Structure formats: C-alpha cells, structure tokens
Structure 1
Amino acid sequence: MSEELALLQAVKKQLKVRGLTYADVAQHIDLSEASVKRLFSEGNISVRRLETICQLLSITLTDLVMIAQLEQTQITHLTFEQEQQMVANESLLLVSVCVIDGYGFDDIVAQYRVSETELIQHLAHLDRLKIIELQPQNRIKLLISQNFSWLANGPIQQYFQGHIKEEFFKSQFNENTEKLLVINGLLSDASNNELQHEMQQLINKFAALKKNEQKVSMDNKHGTTLVVAMRQWTASLFAQKARD
C-alpha cells in the first residue's frame, strides 16, 4: 500500500472512531460532500488538506503518519483456529478480553482468580499471537489495530452470543446504569439501512468513549455491555394468525 493510501485509510478509521462523516469533513474543509468522497476514492489529497482534516480529528499530521504506520503492522482479527483455541480455554479467553479492555497485569490478578504463573503463560500465548507485546516487569502493550474485531459469526462471537442469551437479559433493566428499549413497526429497506448506519455510529461512539477513558482508574470503570440489534422479523403470535 502506498504512503498516500495508508494515510487516507488512517484518516477514515480515525473518522469512524470519532463518529464523524464525510459531511463533517466537507464542512470543515469547505468542500461539497461529493468532492470529499472523490478525494478519498481517488487518493489524491494535498498535505495542506490533510493537515486541515487532522485539525478536525484533534491530531497532528505527524500523529497521523505514526497511526498509519502502526495500522500497517497491527492485526485486525485472528484466524478461525486461533479463536477456537481461546474458546477451548476459558481462562485464556478471560485474559484476552481483559487485556483488550485495557487491564494491566496487577489489575487482572487483583480482580480474577488467576495465578501469576498462569497469567504469564496466557500473556505469553497472546504475545505469540501478536495481540500484545509482553514487556519487562509484566507490562502489557497492545498491538492490535483500533478496528480489531472478532470474526463475524466466529467461535468467540458465537460464544458470547450464547452467554448473552443466557445471562445478559436476566435483568429487569431498572437500575440507573441499565436501559432496555424495544420498538417495532413497518419500515422500508431504505429506512432499515439508515437505522443500521445510526447503529454503527453508536458503536463507534462506545469505542471512542472507551479509548478516551484509558487513563481513568479501574476503580472508576465498570464492565459494560451494549447490545445493538435489529432484524426484519415477525413474532410467532402474528405469524400463526397470518393468512396464507
């Protein structure tokens, strides 16, 4: 990948993380949205414009270059077989999720029943997978890309979906930190697509908030799960009464 394309890819990812769109870029650099889309698709953008976009992202051009270089060396997902290894070892899976969420060595030992020896073994495994770099004094450096994700419908996603069904919804959702919203109606495919875009924006916002709170004390953060789902679906009550 050329340096110009790598920089533009980095810009796109930074926009996504911050919940910004091409329309936001267009307004910031005083161009039409169509012109901005053309700049990105053709990969033809000046250094001056890149610097202006970086202002929108609250980073410098030097920061963007460093981000682009890191993105080219960081992994975005594991293989199917690697995910299977994690699901087969729940202790390894627990440690994997913890380090991705920003836990340090001492945080994991303090919060979970994992011995230091066992934890070091799991961290060494993650080091071999290039998810982390295990540094001296058991410091953990994440090596995954900002847009790292588990495989769609892969072993880990299936594992968590099963537990969400069994555990997550066993709640009345009446605490101050809980909320359950359900709405149904008739929508066109166009409206469905628009809502899916808004759902992705919400996920991006969650990721941005998580990243911004990396330096917040673990004592002031709590495990939080956001489930966003939508499908074209008819409840059995209605399906059974429907005319052929």
Structure 2
Amino acid sequence: MSSPELIIDVLRTQLRAAGITYRTLAERIGMSESSVKRLFGQKDMALSRLAQICQAAGIGMDDVLRRATDARPQADTLTLPQEKSLVSKPRLLLVAICCLGHWSLEQVVETYALTEAECIGFLAELDRLGFIELKPLNRYSLRMSNAFRWLPDGPVQHFFREHAVEDYFSGRFDGAGEALMCLPAQLSLASAQELNQKIGQLAADLARLHRHDRRLGAGERDGYTLLLGFRSWEFAAFTALRRT
C-alpha cells in the first residue's frame, strides 16, 4: 500500500472512530455524499482536501499523517542486491548511512564534497532502491525499521571490515567525548536480547542529539561515529586461559 493510500485508510478509520459518516462529512464540506465516496475511493488526495476534511471532522491532520507513517511496512534489512548496489558506489553508501542518522540534504552537502545536485541524485537512487521515500523539497523518510541491521556477513559488513574497522580502532580514543570499552559478561539469552534493545535505543539517542545540534554552527560541531558490536565471542587469548 502506497503512502497516499495509507493516509486515506487512516483518515477513514479516524472518521469511523469519531462517528462521522460520509453523509455527515459531505454536509460539513459542502459536497454530495456520492462525491465524498468517490473521493475516498481514489488512491490519492490533495493536501488541501485532506486539511479541509480534517478540519471539518475535528481530526488533527498531523495525527493522521503520523499514524499513516507508523502503519507503513518497514524492512529490518536490505536484500543482497540492494546492499551490492550500495557498496558499488561508496558515495551512495555514505549518503545511505547519513540517512540512517537522519541527516538533512543541507548537512550532507555542508559536510562532504558533494554538490547539491549529486546528493539529490543519490537520494533519488536510494528511493528507487526502497531505502528511503523521497518527499517534496528533498526531504525523506526511512523505509527501514528501528530494528534495521546490515545483512550478516553481507556486502556492507564486508565493506566495513575491509575499509573501516582498522581505521576506526587505530585511534587513541582519548579525545573529549571519546571512549573505548570491551566488557565481557556471562548472560542469558533473555539478558542479551534486553541489552540489544538498549543498543537500539542508544542509536536512536544519537540520531536525536544529531537532529538537536543541527541548529549549531559548523564550528560548534565535530564528526563523531558510534561503532557498536555485540555478539557471543571471547578473545582467543582469553579463552586459552579458561579453566578446563
């Protein structure tokens, strides 16, 4: 179901919940009942008409749009061909990662050596790949869920191992706001899943702080990267010291 269809479906549900029939709505907006039925039978609706109906029904338009966004199916992973398409163009992968962090077009162009036209082209390509939904004024929404992860041992993970991990961990991690921790623990599966949810929340907090600090000048912000990994693993040298 497309976004316009979802919006109409949510609006119809909200009208029913409010006890407003097509006949009642038709009287309030000065249309015939049959015209209102045809309006809802279409797969799209002008924003001006949507606003008129919401106002006549006493329904918040923002609430309708938010519910439609929440109802839209979202993917937890990309397909193998989708990931291959990303790693085949490192700058496309860069923009995709920025989108995961909810960067605006302006932030990407401000930070990286990409023209606005190039960045818009990459956003359009990500839209075709099903990674984002491109909206007017070059805004977008992610088609990925909050539980999104790269394919295990997939193209993007291979790309990170080859190009990013060694470079990332070669740092001293002693700068302001930096940290490096390696914490072993004995956990049940339930506890591991609980911690995994908290990691997801941490990623969401990073995106929230990123959006909040967009109001600051470029000189007041610096590039930070959170690289998280959590798995059943022990360093081989430590395993060799285990009691038998």
Does structure 2 retain, via aligned residues, the 8 Å contact 1:150–1:156?
no
Q: Residue type of the partner of 1:235?
A: A
Instruction: Return 5+ residue gaps in structure 2 as ranges.
Output: 1-9, 11-59
Q: Sort the Cα spacing of 1:214 and 1:146 in 2 relative to 1 into closer, same or farther, 3 A.
A: farther
Instruction: Name the residue aligned to 2:26.
Output: none
Does structure 2 retain, via aligned residues, the 8 Å contact 1:87–1:155?
yes
Q: Distance in 2 between matches of 1:234 and 1:143?
A: 36
Q: Distance in 1 between matches of 2:116 and 2:210?
A: 26
Instruction: Name the residue aligned to 2:87.
Output: 87
Cα deviations by residue, 1:85-131 (Å, 9 ceiling, x for unpaired): 01010111111222332222232222211233322321221222341
Instruction: Name the residue aligned to 2:141.
Output: 142
Aligned length: 181
Percent sequence identity over aligned pairs? 25
Q: Sort the Cα spacing of 1:89 and 1:129 in 2 relative to 1 into closer, same or farther, 3 A.
A: same
Q: Sort the Cα spacing of 1:96 and 1:71 in 2 relative to 1 into closer, same or farther, 3 A.
A: same
Deviation at 1:227, TM superposition (A): 1.6
Cα deviations by residue, 1:195-234 (Å, 9 ceiling, x for unpaired): 4422431331331352365243263553321424242435
Q: Distance in 1 between matches of 2:156 and 2:94?
A: 11
Q: Which moved more, 1:113-122 or 1:145-154?
A: 145-154
Q: Sort the Cα spacing of 1:234 and 1:96 in 2 relative to 1 into closer, same or farther, 3 A.
A: closer
Q: Distance in 2 between matches of 1:212 and 1:181?
A: 22
Mapping of 1:13-162 within 5 angstroms?
A: 66-76=65-75, 77-130=77-130, 131-136=132-137, 139-147=138-146, 149-153=148-152, 154-162=154-162
Q: Distance in 1 between matches of 2:239 and 2:102?
A: 45
Picking from 182, 197, 210, the partner of 1:200 is 197
TM-score by length of 2: 0.59
Q: Distance in 2 between matches of 1:238 and 1:107?
A: 45
- Give 1 or 2 for the bigger CA radius of gyration: 2
Does structure 1 retain, via aligned residues, the 8 Å contact 2:78–2:151?
no
